[in-house]
Amino acid sequence: MTIEDAGTAPARRTTLADVARQAGVSTALVSLVMRGAPGASPANREKVFRVARELGYVPDSRARALRQGRSQLLGVMFHVQQPFHADVIEGVYEAAEAAGYDVVLSAVTDSRSEDKAIGTLLADRCEAVILVAPQSSREWLAEVGGRLPTVVLVRHVRHPDLSVVRAADMKGLGLAVDHLVGLGHRRIVHVDGAGSPSAEQRRRGYRAAMARHGLEPRIVRGGWAEINGSQAVEQLLAEGDLPTAILAFNDPCANGVLSTLQRSGISVPEEVSVVGFDDTHLAGFSHIGLTTVRQDAGQMARMAVGRAISLVERKDDPEMHRDGVVVPDLVVRGTTGPCRQ
Amino acid sequence: MTIEDAGTAPARRTTLADVARQAGVSTALVSLVMRGAPGASPANREKVFRVARELGYVPDSRARALRQGRSQLLGVMFHVQQPFHADVIEGVYEAAEAAGYDVVLSAVTDSRSEDKAIGTLLADRCEAVILVAPQSSREWLAEVGGRLPTVVLVRHVRHPDLSVVRAADMKGLGLAVDHLVGLGHRRIVHVDGAGSPSAEQRRRGYRAAMARHGLEPRIVRGGWAEINGSQAVEQLLAEGDLPTAILAFNDPCANGVLSTLQRSGISVPEEVSVVGFDDTHLAGFSHIGLTTVRQDAGQMARMAVGRAISLVERKDDPEMHRDGVVVPDLVVRGTTGPCRQ
DNA sequence: CTTGACCCCTAGAACGTTTTAGGTCGCGTG
DNA sequence: CACGCGACCTAAAACGTTCTAGGGGTCAAG
């Protein structure tokens, strides 16, 4: 062990024992005071606080969790590029804090898979996890559910170990189709979510609504990102068969649709109407204002947190096995208008 | 302690000792095997792996970090509603993983302040933190920097305890102004970032560039979000004094500007040109395609991680005290065009 | 046969907390 | 005076890991 030891450990942070020594009391007492527990004299209490502040003491959450045997931690897996997930996270923080839980985020990115994201949540000893729009296989989700309380958000999956919170997707697409039909549209295409969570349900909702109106459904492969909407429009243009209305899988996808239509000199909503899904708070600012199906992120987040905590505290509420369904509504903005053909 | 003890602890997860017992070896050996360290016979290695898998053992990262005296953790504070921050996070994960560090995210939301976000990073015993576009006071940032290695991203702040990574904002706004002037614009307004990080530098860059061209600068109060751009345009309209070009503080702000212009029947870029800043990967999909000043999020993330780790390993590189500057470039898309007045 | 080197393994301490079980004081009461 | 009680405090054990120090083998060399 030489002086220039490579990979030097970082400076030691100040600990409970440091504070105790400096204040001339036991670590147990410092612990009491820091937690605001009763059983310390006002004099000592004040002294400990003063010393702790002087030394810049911050309790080590890991040691605390380790000793307590529980972390009070709620893990959240989300996709970092999805604006809707950002809205959910806001809500999760709020609800978790109110319930006395901490939140640990684990992002999915191009280079970081869902497996890895979930793996770190397990290693962090979360007491429950909330998976936002997971794309993993049903089997893997079920395995996670078998390990610890798991709430799945915005995805249809039925399994006794998984608690699901989602929007009424069928209903949502029904609203959108009704709106467009009301405006006189008959050639309405659905740019779907391909293999994305809940894409299947939205396709079903679209087909059912079209059938209800006696219209021919037409589905073009899309996805959850801008690029997918963009490519779908390119395909439609290449086929020379543009509909009068496009129903996109979600807001980012709708954005891609709008972008490529605009670039191709096709005006919205005069020539083509476009509808999104989610109503991320960005949707209202897409220049024209995107007409979209709103699913309330805050409400979904609260439901998810509520369920996660119920599961942790083992109140074996049968309600947990039923899907928590949020009713969507249609927000009409500038990207839809009367059919002119 | 009755049976129906409220607040039941969550089910105990399987531990090193469980695996050891089941496999008939010591915990030390299991630890060895799990870490892939040398010193175990092939037979035992295989047996331990098998048992660990059977029991679904996942090492407890907290206990591990506690014992090792270091967490290998990089904390990142970011604003959850900023698309640019999402881009940064992608890069941070990638760079950190390559360097053998883990990442812990701490989001700032409407209901969760920067103080709180930083506080949890401290409690999690991160070895270094990366603060993305912090809005906190210089003093508070300096205090954080005094506690542990701190890299500040996308904000101008000079302090010996803070390492800064940022874009050349002056240069960036210069590029934008030059571009607009080249298109014939003379009445160019800057919708600024108000008190946002680096807003001051961008104002300076704007003023300098305008002066260089002998033009009268005009700054309208904005902010980092869509709503701010929107309100700025409303103000300009109310004053009945619309310029021919608007330079927004960042992409979301530019989006707000575009949205409100469009809603007011003003066409872009025919009547007004608009330029953003950041080039989040959303910018290319804003219907028309936003002309914007690109700052490379990936490169900034890599620089930030590199610096954070240098600081942790106490290579006292004087380079760390110099700002890490990324050179921005202009991405011309559809929101800027020749001046027609 | 001793020695030492090597390989495989384990006991036990440590990390920074919380918690349990108890200890010491001062004081009012029987 | 003895006793009990409450208020305040502390020693020491845990939590799940990693790591240090060392224990027992086996085997080759002296």
**A288 within domain boundaries:** yes
Could you give the number of structural domains in chain B? 3
A27 CB contact with strand D at below 7 Å: yes
* Cβ B111 to strand D below 7 Å: no
The answer to whether A63 CB is within 7 Å of strand C is yes
Same domain (yes/no): B91, B49: no
Give the rounded percent of residues in chain A with a pLDDT score beyond 90: 87
Q: Are B283 and B290 in contact (CB under 8 A)?
A: yes
Residue A267 lies in a domain: yes
Residue A335 reports pLDDT greater than 70 = yes
| Residue A6 covered by a domain | no
Q: Which pLDDT band holds residue A5 (cuts at 50, 70, 90)?
A: very low
Share of residues in chain B with pLDDT > 70 (%): 97
The predicted structure's pLDDT at residue B1: 30
- Closest residue to D15 by CA to C1' distance? A67
Q: CA A16, C1' C28: Å apart?
A: 37
CB contact under 8 A, B80 and A90: yes
Q: How far is A205 from chain B (nearest CA, A)?
A: 27
Same domain, A77 and A154: yes
Question: Do A107 and A26 fall into the same domain?
Answer: no
Closest partner residue to A62 among B97, B125, B312, by Cβ?
Answer: B125
Can you name the residues that pair with B164 across neighbouring β-strands?
B152
Residue A1's pLDDT band (cuts 50, 70, 90): very low
pLDDT, one tens digit per residue, over B105-150 is 999 999 999 999 999 999 999 999 999 999 999 999 999 999 999 9
Interchain contact, B287 vs A288, CB within 8 Å: yes
Residue A69 burial by CB count (10 A; 0-12/13-18/19+): exposed, middle or buried?
exposed
Please indicate, yes or no, whether residues A182 and A291 belong to a single structural domain of this protein: yes
Q: Indicate the pLDDT class of residue A10, thresholds 50, 70 and 90.
A: low
Residues of B in contact with A8 (CB under 8 A): 313-314
pLDDT tens for residues A81-90?
Answer: 999 999 999 9
Residues A146 and A225 in one domain: no
B40 touches strand C (CB under 7 A): yes
Q: Is B239 left (phi over 0), alpha (psi -120 to 50) or beta?
A: alpha
Cβ separation A123–B288 shorter than 8 A = no
- Residue B10 resides in a domain: no
A84 → chain B, closest CA residue: B81
Q: A154 and A174 share a domain?
A: no
Q: Among A48-57, A144-153, A272-281, B287-296, which is the least confidently predicted range?
A: B287-296
pLDDT value at B5 more than 70: no
Q: Does some domain include residue B122?
A: yes
- Based on the fold, state whether residues A155 and A244 are members of the same structural domain: no
Asked if residue A250 belongs to a domain, the reply is yes
Chain B residues in contact with A78 by the CB 8 A cut-off are none
H or E segment and range at residue B28: helix B27-35
Q: Are residues A232 and A180 in the same domain?
A: yes
- Cα separation, A252 vs A279, whole angstroms: 10
Q: Of B12, B13, B47, nearest to B30 (Cα)? A: B47
Give me the domain span that covers residue A319.
72-167+298-326
pLDDT of residue A314: 76
The verdict on B303 and B161 lying in the same domain is: yes
Residues B90 and B185 in one domain: no
For residue A130, the domain's CATH number is: 3.40.50.2300
Considering the domain architecture, whether residues B175 and B282 belong to the same structural domain is answered as: yes
Question: Has residue B160 been placed in a domain?
Answer: yes
Nearest residue, CB atoms, A7 vs list B69, B226, B313 = B313
Q: Return the bridge partners of A74, or none.
A: A103, A128
Q: From A289, which residue of chain B is nearest by alpha-carbon distance?
A: B259
pLDDT at B6 over 70: no
Answer yes or no: is B173 within a domain. yes
At B85 the pLDDT is: 97
One domain, residues B279 and B214: yes
Query: Is B89–A109 a contact, with Cβ atoms under 8 angstroms apart?
Result: yes
Question: Are B71 and A89 an interchain contact pair (Cβ–Cβ within 8 Å)?
Answer: no
Q: For residues A154 and A166, is the Cβ–Cβ distance under 8 A?
A: yes
Structure tokens at B174: 């210069």
CA of A267 to C1' of D3 (A): 95
